Amino acid sequence: MNENENIRKGTEAGTKTIDMGNEFRESFDHSAITARYIEQALRVIVETNPLERVIIPVQTAPDEIKKDVNSRAAKSMQIWLDSFDSLLIEGKDLSKDLIGYAADLARKKRQGLK
């Protein structure tokens, strides 16, 4: 049963009710999925850092390999830095958005319980 059905049935009886078990499950699922996506996005950025994955390990390689790798690594580093920059730009308002989202949810719940 979704929240609208619960509210409708409660309104028919003269009171508004919320299925707290269902609300808890839905919020827990949403929270888990959101956390997983954020973790995966950050892991991609951290684990694809060319400085750690390519440039530093190649420093101990023979000179002929270093020559071939350096131009590719420089290009990869620029792509990675652009991606990191995009991540920071997209996340600039994240804390403000999350606080606003939490406030909106709290306001809707508070209004639904009146």
Residue 4 is given by DSSP the state H
- On whether the CB atoms of residues 45 and 77 are closer than 8 A, the answer is no
Q: How far apart are CA 98 and CA 72, in angstroms?
A: 38
CA-CA-CA-CA torsion sign (4, 6, 9, 11): negative
pTM (predicted TM-score): 0.56
**How many contiguous H segments (helices) and E segments (strands) does the chain have?**
6, 0
Q: Tokens 């009710």 map to which residue?
A: 17
- On whether the CB atoms of residues 12 and 27 are closer than 8 A, the answer is no
Q: What is the pLDDT along the chain (114 residues), one digit of tens a residue?
A: 555 555 555 555 566 677 878 877 888 888 889 899 989 989 999 999 999 988 888 888 888 888 888 888 889 999 999 999 999 999 899 889 889 988 998 888 888 775
Q: Which of 87, 88, 54, 52 is nearest to 70 (CA)?
A: 54
